[in-house]
Amino acid sequence: MATPTPANEALWLLGPRGPFEVRPTPVPTPAAGQVVVRVRAVAVNPVDAITGPLRRLVTPWVRFPTVLGSDVAGEVLAVGTDVTDLAVGDRVTAFAAGQEKPRNSAAEGGFQRIVTVLDRVTTRLPDDLSFEQAAVLPLALATAAAGLYEADQLALPLPGDGADRSDQVVLVWGASTSVGSNAVQLARASGYTVVATAGRSNHDLVRSLGAEAVLDYRDDDVDGEVAAALRGRLLAGTIAIGSGSLGHALRITRRASGTKRIASAYPDPVTAVRSRIARLRGIRVSAIWGGTPVVSPVGPAVFRDFLPGALADGRFRAAPEAMVVGHGLEALPGALQTLRDGVSARKVVVGMDD
Ligand SMILES: NC(=O)c1ccc[n+]([C@@H]2O[C@H](COP(=O)([O-])OP(=O)(O)OC[C@H]3O[C@@H](n4cnc5c(N)ncnc54)[C@H](OP(=O)(O)O)[C@@H]3O)[C@@H](O)[C@H]2O)c1
């Protein structure tokens, strides 16, 4: 007997400073290109944890009340008429794009029980991947993919073409972050050798994701250590994640041979100024927006063409490990606080029971 469609509820954010409130909200119907998902797990991201005026600065287009949340995993409840690659009952993970400027829609925010997502950034899951673990993927994966593949970022070849580019190195600074865990694996899947930085306790993890060498970003001479790991090879590009990463990436890129491009996931107020100065030295710095693949060809290339097969045959892992901190929409504000308090190589996840 088919499971009856439940009523919908969302965790609404009433203003940029809060508060959050769980309220009933309509059960959506999918339009063309859309998929309606019964959410079983959601992950939280730094962008969800922002409060106050910074939220207006980062996503000025968002109207309140709104529904945050980009990372969902669950079962397909309905598909738009033109969606042919997914069916009702499929287990999926998806980038919930409600906070993205081209969508700007509360019905597409991930912090709800039944969410509308876009088919182009939805991935069918293998049976042995739990919803909680799959939920770690979407925004971090999209951010890594944006940095590596978008034409105005590193513009590397897409993953999975089988080409060997191992004489060239992608440097992933901050590889134990969620974004970095995905960047290491994508760069390897595009055929590159990966040199990475992470805290010492996470070096084994980052190596297990495919990095050849991992250095500690806290070491006094980390720039020299990375330069030594690059010696004799061409740098294909750097993805810079974490506070202070751009300064290191600039110093290393200046000394290295190869492509002088840096994609920064940590743009701060001086990034634009530094980028202009770096350009005079032939280095191109771009600021990543993790939602770009929602509308660009990179989204379906990664979420639909590459990821389902790569997850199924073990070429790609949902990493880092999910840290399930509670269940239900009411647990999400606490999950955001856990993220603000700081995590190491973990993704904060909330399960969504019936
Ligand atoms: N531009 C965008 O669109 C976009 C999208 C998503 C995320 N981001 C940004 O990307 C960063 C990572 O996000 P996330 O969700 O992946 O983070 P996360 O998984 O929550 O990050 C936790 C990790 O950060 C690492 N870390 C802390 N300080 C660091 C530093 N100074 N340098 C390098 N690594 C450092 C820690 O490494 P160890 O424990 O190993 O020391 C820890 O494992 C955040 O700054 C976030 O705001 C940007």
Domain membership of residue 23 (yes or no) is yes
| CA–CA separation, 276 and 33 (whole Å) | 39
What mean pLDDT do residues 129-144 have?
98
- Beta strands 165-173 and 234-240: pairing type? parallel
Asked whether residue 117 falls in the same domain as residue 175, the answer is no
Name the residue at shortest CA distance from atom 22 of ligand 1.
177
- Dist. CA 343 → ligand 1 center (Å): 9
| CA–CA separation, 147 and 95 (whole Å) | 16
Q: From the CA of 345, give the closest atom in ligand 1.
A: 43
Which neighbouring-strand residues pair with 22? Answer: 11
196-232 pLDDT tens trace: 999 999 999 999 999 999 999 999 999 999 999 999 9
Asked whether residue 154 falls in the same domain as residue 31, the answer is no
The tally of CA atoms less than 13 A away on the side-chain side of residue 139 is 25
Q: What are the E-state strand segments in the chain?
A: 9-13, 20-24, 34-43, 71-79, 91-95, 114-118, 122-124, 165-173, 192-197, 213-215, 234-240, 261-264, 284-287, 321-327, 346-351
Asked whether residue 67 falls in the same domain as residue 162, the answer is no
Provide the pLDDT for residue 276: 84
Domain membership of residue 47 (yes or no) is yes
Asked whether residue 192 falls in the same domain as residue 249, the answer is yes
Written as one letter, the residue type at 207 is R
Mean pLDDT in the chain? 95
Residue 88 has pLDDT above 90, yes or no: yes
What mean pLDDT do residues 95-103 have?
97
On whether the CB atoms of residues 179 and 163 are closer than 8 A, the answer is: no
On whether the CB atoms of residues 240 and 222 are closer than 8 A, the answer is: no
Provide the pLDDT for residue 1: 46
- Dist. CA 173 → ligand 1 center (Å): 10
Domain membership of residue 292 (yes or no) is no
Torsion sign across C-alpha atoms 253, 254, 260, 266: positive
Asked whether residue 208 falls in the same domain as residue 260, the answer is yes
What mean pLDDT do residues 235-241 have?
98
Q: From the CA of 180, give the closest atom in ligand 1.
A: 16
- Beta strands 284-287 and 165-173: pairing type? unpaired
Domain membership of residue 300 (yes or no) is no
Name the residue at shortest CA distance from atom 33 of ligand 1.
174
What are the structure tokens assigned to 213, written together?
């060498």
- Dist. CA 235 → ligand 1 center (Å): 22
154-186 pLDDT tens trace: 999 999 999 999 999 999 999 999 999 999 999
Percent of the chain with pLDDT over 90: 91
Q: From the CA of 202, give the closest atom in ligand 1.
A: 40
Phi-psi region of 258 (alpha: psi -120 to 50; beta: other; left: phi over 0): left
Q: Which of 276, 267, 174 is nearest to 217 (CA)?
A: 174
Domain membership of residue 173 (yes or no) is yes
Provide the pLDDT for residue 5: 64
DSSP state of 200: G
Q: Which pLDDT band, with edges at 50, 70 and 90, does 152 fall under?
A: very high
Ligand 1 is surrounded, with C-beta below 6 A, by 45-46, 139-140, 143, 174, 176-179, 198-199, 202, 217, 241-245, 265-266, 288-290, 343-345
Name the residue at shortest CA distance from atom 42 of ligand 1.
344
Asked whether residue 131 falls in the same domain as residue 258, the answer is no
Q: What CATH number has the domain bearing residue 235?
A: 3.40.50.720
Q: Which pLDDT band, with edges at 50, 70 and 90, does 4 fall under?
A: low
- Dist. CA 329 → ligand 1 center (Å): 24
Asked whether residue 84 falls in the same domain as residue 171, the answer is no
Residue 270 has pLDDT above 80, yes or no: no
Provide the pLDDT for residue 92: 98
Q: What does 256-278 look like in DSSP terms, one character per residue?
A: SSB--EEEES---TTHHHHHHHH
Cis peptide before 157 (omega within 30 of 0): no
**Mutational test site, ligand 1, from 179, 219, 246, 271, max ligand atoms within 8 Å of CB:** 179
Q: What CATH number has the domain bearing residue 24?
A: 3.90.180.10
On whether the CB atoms of residues 196 and 172 are closer than 8 A, the answer is: yes
Residue 253 belongs to what domain range?
Answer: 142-287
Q: Which of 14, 146, 8 is nearest to 74 (CA)?
A: 8
Rounded to 10 degrees, the C-alpha dihedral 224/229/230/236 comes to -110
Structural domains counted in the chain: 2
Asked whether residue 322 falls in the same domain as residue 347, the answer is yes
65-82 pLDDT tens trace: 999 999 999 999 999 999
